[in-house]
Amino acid sequence: MAHRPLRRLLPPLASLVVLAACVTPQGSPVPLCGDDFEAVLQGDPRAMTNQAQSIPVECYRIIGNARIEVGFFMPAGPQCFEVDSVEVVESSGAVSLELRVGGVSDPLGACPEEELPWSVLVELNGPIEGRQVLDAIGPG
């Protein structure tokens, strides 16, 4: 499915990362985002409690020394979704990400009828350089 570029609408996330201690990063390797992956940047996360579901990470971009932009496709309607959380597990050689979205009961507008490319900013505890990025829900 071809996706047209979308402009960035909202400021970056700073408080989205959930850190997991004493766990080894696992999952499938995530590629760098190509020039064709242009995403709408998600706003502040909402806790969706039991409604959250894990979705695949499509790609990532290195934004800074210890910051990455994580690309994914937000599910299509009829229900609206928002980012619930990103669980980050780090080691010296890898970073695994589990991205969760949840249904929104009070959407600000009409829900999209097709999946849309979105992204979130993730702050890491250390430099990304030299570490592999993994999608925690993929086979590891």
Q: Could you read off the pLDDT of 36-58 as tens digits, one per residue?
A: 888 865 555 566 555 789 999 99
Q: pLDDT per position in the chain (140 positions), as tens?
A: 443 333 333 334 433 444 445 678 999 999 999 988 888 655 555 665 557 899 999 999 999 999 999 999 988 877 888 888 899 999 999 999 999 988 876 656 677 888 989 898 999 999 999 999 999 998 76
Nearest CA to 9 among 93, 109, 98?
109
Q: At a CB cut-off of 8 Å and minimum separation 6, what does 24 contact?
A: 89, 91
**94 neighbors 140 (Cβ within 8 angstroms):** no
Tell me, yes or no, whether 52 lies in a domain.
yes
Q: In whole angstroms, what is the distance from residue 47 CA to residue 41 CA?
A: 18
Q: Is 50 helix (H, G, I), strand (E, B) or coil?
A: helix
In a domain, 25, yes or no: yes
**Rounded Cα gap, residues 20 and 7, in angstroms:** 32
Q: For residue 102, is it within any domain?
A: yes
In a domain, 7, yes or no: no
For 101, the domain range is 17-135
Total number of domains in the chain: 1
Placement of tokens 């009828």 in the chain: 113
The answer as to whether 126 is a domain residue is yes
Reading phi first (left if > 0) and then psi (alpha if -120 to 50, else beta), residue 5 is in beta
The candidate with the shortest Cα–Cα distance to 73, out of 56, 90, 85, 97, is 56
Domain-located, residue 5: no
- Give the residue carrying structure tokens 């609408």: 9
Classify residue 79: in a domain, yes or no: yes
